Structures are given as structure tokens and as C-alpha cells.
Chains A and B, each alone.
Chain A
Amino acid sequence: MKLVRREYTVVGAAAVGLVLAAGAALFIFPFFWTVTTALKSYQQAFAYPPVWIPKPFVWSNFAEAWTTLPMPFHLFVINTYTIAFIATSGTLLSCSLVAYGFARFRFRGRNLLFLVLLSTMMLPGQVTMIPVFVFWNKLHLVDTFAPLVLPAWFATSAFSVFLLRQFFMTIPKELDEAAMIDGCSYFGIWWRIIMPLSRPALITIVILSFLGEWNDFMGPLIYLNSLRNYTVSIALNMFRDLYYVRLELLMAASLIHIIPVIALFFAAQKYFIKGITMTGIKG
């Protein structure tokens, strides 16, 4: 696959570059506006006409946002990390087992089951949301992390199964067979051959799963009631009430939510792109 197509002339490329740069300025503007607002004083945040560059930079807005809610913000960060860690571990383990089953074994109904698995990706969550809530409610596990992390241990991320299966199928079967001759069990092949060779795909899953948990809104909104259990996303929603009073704190809190995601993206850019293109296009 070639990364660049020679479809444009030099002048054409320059024109495209200009259009893209102008568009990029527009796209990045809301971020810029959030950052400057987060650093403004209360008076400057509400000033009209707007102040472009805050003077002075009020770094203490971040500290103040951190402690605005009745509970400190790191509690929500820890909650979110805990949920993300447990759910991501479950996704990694269960989805790789299932993907191995689909990639390497012939059994009756395999293609049909795989088709069912893929179609669950298109299923609107609303169709299962209420009974699943009732289920956790009956188990008295609403307002705990269980409803947010346990399903992940049962390969509920069809997307991850799909991505891993596609990857596993590129690993030569001769490796499995050689290991089998050496007396390796199927679990041994999965653990010693398939998993170590699939690091890029596994890392992609970790990143996308973590991101999904960090950004998830509806799940925590439905299942978490007490403030001490809140995740960052629903804690941030409580800041909305500051819209008319302390805009700069609202923006600072939003940045606290956004920055880890962007940092993760820059640290692992190639895995993002790989994950998207592997599932979007034939694997």
C-alpha cells in the first residue's frame, strides 16, 4: 500500500495545503478557546468583547476545578482508571480466547456464530439496556463498578474479537503445528505462540478499550448513583451548572478530561490508526 498518491500537481498540492491549513485552524479553534478560557480570570472569562489571551494566566483555575465538587477530582480519576483497568483486562483475556477459537478451529456453526457476533456490533444498545439494568438491580450491584466491568470478561466487545481474529489469521498455522508436535496444548499455543506474536493488535485493543471506558458516559450515568463512585465523565457533567457562573472552571475541568486522551493518542498514534483501519477495511 502506498501512502501517497501522485494525483496532484505542485500548484494543486499547494492549494490543497492552504485549504487544509485554514480548515485545521477552524477545527482546532474550539480547543484553543477552551484552553484560553480555562486560564482566564473570572472577569475575563465573561468579558465582552472576548479576551483572546488571558492576562495573567490563572493557573490556579485547575487547582480550584479539582476541588470544586464536594469530593476531590482525583477520586473520579481513580474510579475511572479502576474501571478501565478491570474492563480492559477482561476484554483482552476473553476476546483473545474467543478470537483464537474462531481463527483456528473448525466446528459446526462457526461461520453462523461469527456472523451473529459481528451483527451484535450493529445492535442498538437500547434494546438490551433495560433488562440488563434490571439484572444488576436484582443482584443489588447497581451503584458498584460490577455492571461496568464484568460484561467485558465475557467477550462482549465484538469489535475486539473481530480485530484479534483478523490478526490471528495472519499468523502462519505452521507455528501452531510445530508447537503441537513439541507437545504444546491448545491453551499453550494460544498463550505461547499466538499472544506473543499479536502484541501490536493487543496493544491496539488496550488503547481503544481504555479510551472507550474513559469516555463512556451512558454506562456510568445509568449505574453509578453516589458521588464517591463517579467517573470523570459524569463528574464533569456536574460542572455544567457552573456554565453561568464559573465558566473558566468548567473549561479547566473539561481540559482535565481531554488532556489524558490526547496524550495517549500522541504516545500511541500508530495503534489508533491500525485499529480503525483493520476493522473498517478487510483485515
Chain B
Amino acid sequence: MAGWRDVLGLPPAGPPGLDAPSGALARKIGLWGYLFIAPWIIGFLVFTAGPMLVSLALSFTTYNLAEVRYEGLHNYSFLTLKDPLFWKSLKNTAVYVAVSVPLGLTGSLLLAMLLNVRLRGISILRTIYYLPSLTPAVASALLWMWVFHPDIGILNYSLKAIGIDNPPGWLQSPTWAMPAMIIMSLWGIGGARMIIFLAGLQGISDHYYEAAKIDGANAWQRFVHITIPLITPVILFNLVLGVIGAFQVFTSAYVMTEGGPDNATLFYALYLYKNAFQFFKMGRASAMAWILFVILLVFTYIQFRHSRRWVHYEGGGE
């Protein structure tokens, strides 16, 4: 029963609905359908599709909210050829994605497996691990700024206590600001992703494990040959959304470092925001938005494409 269509919740081949015979009545019912989804169609045209096209058009212009000038591919050539910060922000973001997504995904899965145990008080533990992801982004940024404080922060105090005499300057060091951002992102591994993994694990039928035990499979073999294959659809779902989310990381850097020190945490979304709303280079920011969009499209396409090789869908039903 499960396929990628189901994971996304797409309607199966035979859709439910008020089945009309055909002809005039079917058309009438169809019209009612359009009427009910009309709010979304309007919203989609006004707030999504229209703006996307306008954004594409703006990316070929210089626009500062007052004056529009067509400039062809100038924004794109400027960004890629003459703007070192563009590449810096792209590189920072790529590093962030490449490290925080796999670590976060592994951490979430591991945590879900541990939290799937039968224990008294397990729901309290699940809650504790979930709380960081609930914390508003600004508040958690402020809170971590304090943890990371190089001189009197609790992290460096602890590091010194265990004998590290020269702990890093974290957010104030160009080398350590990025690791600090990644550490902070890992604080959220108990959030939605973990809950989705947990639900996936709990959805696996006990029969598989029992059958495997009878066949003499040990815990590791059961993990590799049952658990992992059966939750690959969930892994793919979390991976795709995780990559898209990580590429847009913004608030933590805006609040904690404003992109510094020495542009070490200048993330793509932050540089885009600065171009648009601080420098009022709306055309250039639009070009950045479209570059990001294309990058994400390519990444998502590759992930789906590649997923045929490793994602396992249960056929038939449980």
C-alpha cells in the first residue's frame, strides 16, 4: 500500500468523491469542486505563481523599489563572476547542508530507535528531546549565544573544566562559528523528523522481526535487513525536506552573528535578505532566489531519481 504517492498523500488511481454517473450532473458536481478550491486557486495565483514569474522577470533587471531597468543577464553574471560574497555564502550554505543534514538525520533516526523502547517515563524523555524544536528560533539563538560565550559561556567553562585550556571562540571565531551553528542545529534532532521516524518505526509489523528471529537473525541483522529497508521512504521524505530547509537557514545567523565574523556564517538566505532589504537590490536578490530555486530543484530531482535504487516500498499491503 505504501508508495511514494502514499507518502505524499497523493490520491490513488481510483479517487474517492461523489461519484456522479456522467454528463450534466458530473459537470455540475465538478463546478462545485472548483468553487470549493477557489480560495486556494486565487491564493496560488496571487501569492505563489504570479510572484514566481515576477521574481524571474525582476532577476533580469535592476530594481530598487522606485525604478526598474532591464539589464539582461547582468545580475547573474555579476553574482557569479564579480561577487565573491555570493560564492562565499553559497559555500557556507553548502558546508552547513552537507554536515548538518546527514548528522541531523542520523541523530534523529538513532534517537527515534532509542526512544522506541518500552520504559517507564519514556514519554517524559520524548518530550524533553522534542522541546528544543518547539523553542522559537530567536529565543534559541539568544540562548545559544549565551552558551557559546567565549569567556563566560557555560560551554567553554565545561571545556576548561575537562582540561581544554584554549577553548574555541565559537561565534566570535571565523573558524568555529560554523561548527557552532551546526552544533546548535543538532539540538533540534528530537523534533518533527524524529517523531516521523518514530511513527515509521512503530508502523513496522512485529511479524517481520519475529520471523527474522526464528531464522536466527541477530539484532544488527534485523536492523540492517528489516528496520532500515522498511523506513527508507521516511528517510527519503526527511532527507528531501531536510535539505530544502537547511538551504534556507536564516534566523540563527541573522540573530547570532549577522553573517560574521569575517562572513563565516553568511548563509545564502541571509545574503539574499541583505541584498533585498538592506541594500535594496531587489533585482539581484531575485536572481539569487532563482539560483537557489534551481539548485533545490536539481537536488530534489537527483534525490528522487537516486531513491529508486535504495528506497523500498512495501508492495501489496501489510
Contact = CB atoms under 8 A, between A and B. Distances in A.
Interface of A: 1-8, 12-13, 16-17, 19-21, 23-24, 27-31, 33-34, 37, 46-50, 94, 97-98, 100-108, 110-111, 113-118, 120, 122-135, 137, 151, 153-156, 161-162, 165-166, 169, 173, 176-177, 186, 190, 211, 214-215, 217-218, 221-222, 232-234, 236-237, 239-240, 243, 247, 250-251, 254-255, 257-258, 261-262, 265, 269, 273, 276-277, 279-283
23 contacts: A2-B202, A6-B118, A7-B117, A30-B143, A33-B147, A33-B154, A97-B37, A110-B33, A130-B285, A135-B51, A153-B43, A186-B36, A215-B137, A217-B136, A237-B138, A240-B255, A250-B146, A251-B143, A254-B138, A254-B143, A255-B139, A258-B139, A280-B192
Nearest to B202: A1
A118 B1 CA distance: 20
A127 B290 contact: yes
B11 to A, nearest CB: 6
A240 B195 CA distance: 32
B255 A124 contact: no
Most-contacted residue by chain B among A7, A100, A120 (CB, 10 A): A7
Contact of A94 (B39, B129, B138, B143): B39
Nearest to B248: A124
Contacts of A37: 146
Nearest to B54: A131
Given A236-B138, A277-B196, 9 more contacts: A5-B204, A7-B222, A48-B152, A107-B34, A113-B41, A117-B44, A122-B240, A126-B272, A154-B42
A129 B1 CA distance: 38
Given A98-B37, A124-B296, A4 B20 contact: no
B51 A132 contact: yes
Interface in B269-305: 269, 272-273, 276-277, 282, 285-286, 288-290, 292-293, 296, 300
B7 interface: yes
Interface in B143-182: 143-147, 151-152, 154, 157
A233 B43 contact: no
Nearest to B276: A130
Contacts of A239: 142
Interface of B: 1-2, 6-11, 15-20, 26, 29-37, 39-44, 46-48, 50-52, 54-55, 58, 65, 111, 114-119, 122, 125, 127-132, 134-140, 142-147, 151-152, 154, 157, 187, 190, 192, 195-196, 199-204, 206, 209, 219, 222, 234, 237, 240-241, 244, 247-248, 250-251, 254-255, 269, 272-273, 276-277, 282, 285-286, 288-290, 292-293, 296, 300
Contacts of A221: 254
A1 B65 CA distance: 55
Contacts of B143: 30-31, 33-34, 251, 254
A174 B18 CA distance: 10
Given A24-B125, A122-B240, A128 B47 contact: yes
Nearest to A152: B43
List 3 A-B pairs, minimum CB-CB distance, nearest first. Answer: A154-B43, A101-B36, A105-B33
Contacts of B37: 97-98, 101-102, 113
B255 A237 contact: yes
A200 B283 CA distance: 44
A246 to B, nearest CB: 12
A29 B132 CA distance: 11
Nearest to A258: B139
A100 B29 CA distance: 13
B67 to A, nearest CB: 13
Nearest to B151: A48
A176 B20 CA distance: 14
Nearest to B203: A1
A251 B140 CA distance: 10
Nearest to A250: B142
Contact of A257 (B39, B139, B200): B139
Contacts of A177: 18
A161 B139 CA distance: 29
B3 to A, nearest CB: 9
Contact of B117 (A17, A24, A114, A161): A17
Contacts of B10: 111, 114-115, 118
Contacts of A232: 136
B209 A5 contact: yes
Given A19-B114, A21-B125, A134-B282, A124 B244 contact: yes
A155 B276 contact: no
A165 to B, nearest CB: 8
A48 B154 CA distance: 10
A280 B289 contact: no
B32 A105 contact: yes
A215 B190 contact: no
A93 to B, nearest CB: 8
B138 A233 contact: yes
Nearest to B57: A131
Contacts of B20: 106
A19 B115 CA distance: 10
A2 B206 CA distance: 9
Contact of A106 (B15, B51, B139): B15
Contacts of B47: 128, 132, 151, 154, 156
